[in-house]
Amino acid sequence: MPPLIRALLRDMAPYTATDAGNAVDLSDNTSLWGPPPAALDAVRALDASALTRYPPTPPAGLNAALATYAGVPVNMVVAGCGSDDLIDCAMRTFAEPGDTIAFASPTFSMVPVFAAINGLRTHAIPYGPELDIDVDALLAPRPRLIYLCSPNNPTGSALPSATIERIVANATGVVILDEAYGEFTSTPGFSLVAHSERLVVTRTLSKAFGLAGLRIGYAVLAPSLARALETVRGPYKLNAAAVAAAVAASTDGLPWVRQHAMEAATNRDRVAERLVALGLPPMPSQANFVCVPCRQASRVAERLLARGLALRVLRQLPPVTPALAASGGAALRITIGPWPLMEQLIALLQAEGATCE
């Protein structure tokens, strides 16, 4: 009898997240301020009959709200079950099995996984010591797909606009620009889409919008590409509650979202200063988290979990910076939240005597 599971998958483990238990979760880069009140009101106001019917497909009202937010025509928006759903679908839409996807490493951990499952070859180049990208090396194999993450997960670093523009201008295939953390910095993605038919910008409502539990993401891309992506994505990927919450969050809830995104960015910079003072210097970040190279990351995280705070432990990151080389590729990723919680974090790190060593 032949094996029932594809050979590729036999040694591949499912994705697992930090088990925060009863601790405050600082591991997933989601909103520690909660969801926008407007989104909660929209879910509460749902008519019970909405639960017995399939939601609209495509979700026209949501697409219109997201298009207004992005400043693009509605036929350039495709919504999905989180931005990772759309990244996965984009690989199937714009590349054949055996084609190459290029990216800089380290980056979003699911990208090489999605690539393998979709039968793509990977061309991974290391980030430079200043977390810059060697554009010529990235473009060298003339990849069918290029994946960029800015601000990047897990480092927090953002690519200069000039770098993104150069990559898009010289790409021979489709460029996926993952801006999951775009609300926490000034990013060029939406404005670039109007000038390039080969650019796909993905965003999520899991981070700044505080709706991670409802799984809403979207892509902005040329209308001809959007139609193909929507075909691959398939119907009914968003439930009625998610659509209602997302529409409210991206319209009436926008002032709340923007206020708390600004607060997260301010607190991120304050936390970075405190960490430097503790001898735990983080990598430069423009996201809602900081990444701290730390050889004892597992031990520090274990101690803080016992004190009620869950951090993400990163292991075997490529030694692209001197700090990551010194830590053996180990690091802590810390989500930024309200300042009283950040003060608690700093106090516990100090009390535990946490160091980079």
Using CB atoms within 10 Å of the CB of residue 341, give its burial: 0 to 12 exposed, 13 to 18 middle, 19+ buried.
middle
Q: Considering only CA atoms, which of 229, 289, 235, 238 is closest in space to residue 265?
A: 289
Given this model, what pLDDT does residue 135 score? 98
Q: Considering only CA atoms, which of 113, 111, 155, 116 is closest in space to residue 133?
A: 155
Gap between the Cα atoms of 212 and 205, Å rounded:
7
Mean pLDDT (whole number) for 287-313: 95
pLDDT band of residue 21 (cuts 50, 70, 90) is confident
Domains in the chain: ranges and CATH: 7-30+255-351 (3.90.1150.10), 37-252 (3.40.640.10)
pLDDT band of residue 315 (cuts 50, 70, 90) is very high
Q: Which amino acid is at 122?
A: T
Question: What does residue 165 show for φ and ψ, rounded to 5 degrees?
Answer: -65, -40
Q: Beta strands 174-178 and 289-293: pairing type?
A: unpaired
- Per-residue tokens: 55: 């939601």
Q: Which amino acid is at 77?
A: V
pLDDT at residue 2 greater than cutoff 70 = no
Question: How far is C-alpha 111 from the geometric centre of its chain's CA atoms?
Answer: 11
3-state helix, strand, coil in the chain (%, to 5): 40, 15, 45
pLDDT at residue 29 greater than cutoff 80 = yes
Question: What does residue 194 show for φ and ψ, rounded to 5 degrees?
Answer: -65, -20
148 three-state secondary structure: strand
Residues 6+ apart with CB under 8 A from 110: 15, 84, 87, 88
| DSSP code, position 64 | H
pLDDT at residue 353 greater than cutoff 90 = no
91 three-state secondary structure: helix
Residue 106, preceding bond cis, omega within 30 degrees?
A: yes
For 42-55, write each residue's pLDDT tens digit: 999 999 888 899 99
Residues 6+ apart with CB under 8 A from 149: 103, 107, 108, 111, 178, 180
**Beta carbons of 123 and 102 less than 8 angstroms apart:** yes
Mean pLDDT (whole number) for 74-90: 97
Mean pLDDT (whole number) for 105-113: 96
Our CA angle for 156, 250, 181, nearest 5°, is 5
Q: Beta strands 199-204 and 174-178: pairing type?
A: parallel
Gap between the Cα atoms of 159 and 175, Å rounded:
14
Question: What does residue 308 show for φ and ψ, rounded to 5 degrees?
Answer: 105, 10
For 174-215, write each residue's pLDDT tens digit: 999 999 999 999 877 888 998 889 999 999 999 999 999 999
pLDDT band of residue 20 (cuts 50, 70, 90) is confident
Given this model, what pLDDT does residue 173 score? 97
pLDDT at residue 56 greater than cutoff 90 = no
Q: Considering only CA atoms, which of 193, 200, 224, 74 is closest in space to residue 148?
A: 200
How many other CB atoms are there within 10 angstroms of residue 180's CB atom?
A: 27
Given this model, what pLDDT does residue 1 score? 62
Gap between the Cα atoms of 143 and 176, Å rounded:
12
Q: What is the pTM assigned to this prediction?
A: 0.96
Given this model, what pLDDT does residue 356 score? 67
**Beta carbons of 251 and 258 less than 8 angstroms apart:** no
Q: Considering only CA atoms, which of 108, 118, 96 is closest in space to residue 150?
A: 108
How many other CB atoms are there within 10 angstroms of residue 107's CB atom?
A: 20
- What is the average pLDDT value for the chain, to the nearest integer? 94
